[in-house]
Structure 1
Amino acid sequence: MAPRHPPAVLPHALHIPGINKLAGKRVVLASNSPRRKEILQIFGLAPEIEPSTFAEDLSPLSFENIHEYPVATATHKAVEVYERLVVRSVSFSSQALPPQFAHGLMTKSQSADPENGPDLVIGADTVVLTHAQPLSSDIAYSELPGVSQELLEKPENKADNLRMLQDLNGSVCEVVTGVSLVFPVLTSPGYDIRSLEERSLVYFFDNPLSLLNAYVDSGEGLDRAGGFAIQGLGGLLIRKIEGDYHNVVGFPAASFFRFLDLLVEEDDDFLEV
């Protein structure tokens, strides 16, 4: 019988363990971000697109380590999509999640065709942290009087976008992306979760207000964490980056594919249920 889902691995993909394992599998991206889709396609992966309906209402203040926040959001996105698409009778609960990630997941049962369930659901979430520590400096900027880190997600409007850019201007921010993988296993509750995070530093020029206003007026930053897009017009605002460029765009491809390789090497049963 022909597969009931499009092939996830494109012809130009490298023949490495993680990608090879995805051949013939149903791979789903729990996001409607065109940037994440494009990044994965660059490296030969073409997942189905199934945006998550998770409300993204976690409180950053509930995390002792703020870097866990995007990982938790990515986990909720992936689990929500997996639960919605799963195709065999199974009771799902939040017990598979680390305790700090378990807020808001309801127990549910679903049943359908057991031959068409997702083999892998990928969730991702990107945030920007202001006033990051430059790698070349011994000054703890976040500890200076009047300087505190702020978590930036997508701006609410143009005024909020300008506020974000003024805070980032002439400074260094940290872009953090959490990625979570959800896949079926035989043990309760029927799925497992593996997560990673990637951090990159972005250095902004000391841009004139006229340039910031012109960028805000373009509208490009309204749908981007931190209010800027490095791959677009926002690149004019940025002096340099340290770390993974694709992570700043929205998905840490290099770390993701290395993580897949590691999962394949460590677990012979990975994606074999």
Structure 2
Amino acid sequence: MNKPIILASRSPRRQELLRQAGIAYEVDPADIEEVMDPALPLDQRIMALAKAKASAVLARHPDRLVVGADSVVALDDRIMGKAQDRAQARQFLESLSGKVHQVVTGVAIMDAYSCETFCSASKVYFYPLSAREIDNYLDSQEWQDKAGAYAIQGLGCRFVEKIEGDYNNIVGLPVARLYRELMRF
């Protein structure tokens, strides 16, 4: 890990996870249109989007090591990105209530010579949620800019019965695995 790292994301959660892990980085958001190919399996879709983000930033910084990432919430065959508005956030939370879903994060690490991608999936078990709980949560505005319309590291923790897998992946970045992969560059 001799090259300076650029995080191709403006996510404050990803930035905080890197800080906590002691990984030095700079931020240069990719600002690309986030389009996934529905013909691909979910893990490949997520990794392709992470790779597209890293590639867009690498074009501006060819001498750097770039990390791109994207996360989605998957409930059965339904993919939940960031809710567009309060009504959609309500639909997401009502759908997740009392069920088990996955948080899937794709990561791409790229420099001018190589690209490594990987995917991390964690299971999240939600308690059944009342309409009042959902309304109170929506009033907090915390749902904004969050895949699945909740933040496990914030007030959304009240909804979670248990998890299986990497907690940091659910927050937004499987930082321990990322650290191990970065050591190979």
- TM-score interval (norm. to shorter): over 0.9
Match of 2:44 in 1: 68
Q: Residue 171 in 1 paired to residue 99 in 2?
A: yes
Do the aligned partners of 2:36 and 2:46 also contact (CA within 8 Å) in 1?
Answer: no
Structure with more of its chain in strand, by fraction:
2
Alignment of 1:85-164 (within 5 A): 85-86=61-62, 117-118=63-64, 120-131=65-76, 149-164=77-92
Match of 1:232 in 2: 154
- Describe the SS at the equivalent of 2:148: helix
- Describe the SS at the equivalent of 2:106: strand
1:61-84 CA distance string (max 9 Å, x none):
121x11211111100000000012
Deviation, 1:217, is 1.6
Quick one: distance in 2 between partners of 1:248 and 1:254? 13
Alignment of 1:1-273 (within 5 A): 21-22=1-2, 25-59=3-37, 61-63=38-40, 65-86=41-62, 117-118=63-64, 120-131=65-76, 149-185=77-113, 192-261=114-183, 264=184, 270=185
Do the aligned partners of 1:36 and 1:250 also contact (CA within 8 Å) in 2?
Answer: yes
Gaps of 5+ in 1: 1-20, 87-116, 132-148, 186-191, 265-269
Quick one: distance in 2 between partners of 1:67 and 1:26? 27
% identical equivalent positions:
38
Deviation, 1:85, is 2.3
The alignment's C-alpha RMSD in Å is: 1.1
Quick one: distance in 2 between partners of 1:57 and 1:200? 22
1:96-141 CA distance string (max 9 Å, x none):
xxxxxxxxxxxxxxxxxxxxx31x100000001014xxxxxxxxxx
Task: Tell me the TM-score normalized by structure 2.
Answer: 0.96
Query: 2:181 is matched by which residue type in structure 1?
Result: F
Quick one: distance in 2 between partners of 1:41 and 1:222? 23
Quick one: distance in 1 between partners of 2:59 and 2:146? 27
Do the aligned partners of 1:77 and 1:123 also contact (CA within 8 Å) in 2?
Answer: yes
Deviation, 1:53, is 1.8
Quick one: distance in 2 between partners of 1:41 and 1:57? 29
Deviation, 1:233, is 0.6
Query: 2:13 is matched by which residue type in structure 1?
Result: R
- Between the two proteins, the alignment pairs up a number of residues equal to 185
1:213-235 CA distance string (max 9 Å, x none):
11112111121001100000111
Query: Using CA pairs below 8 Å that are at least 6 residues apart, which structure has the higher relative contact order?
Result: 2
Runs of 4+ in 1 over 4 A off after TM superposition: none
- Describe the SS at the equivalent of 1:151: strand
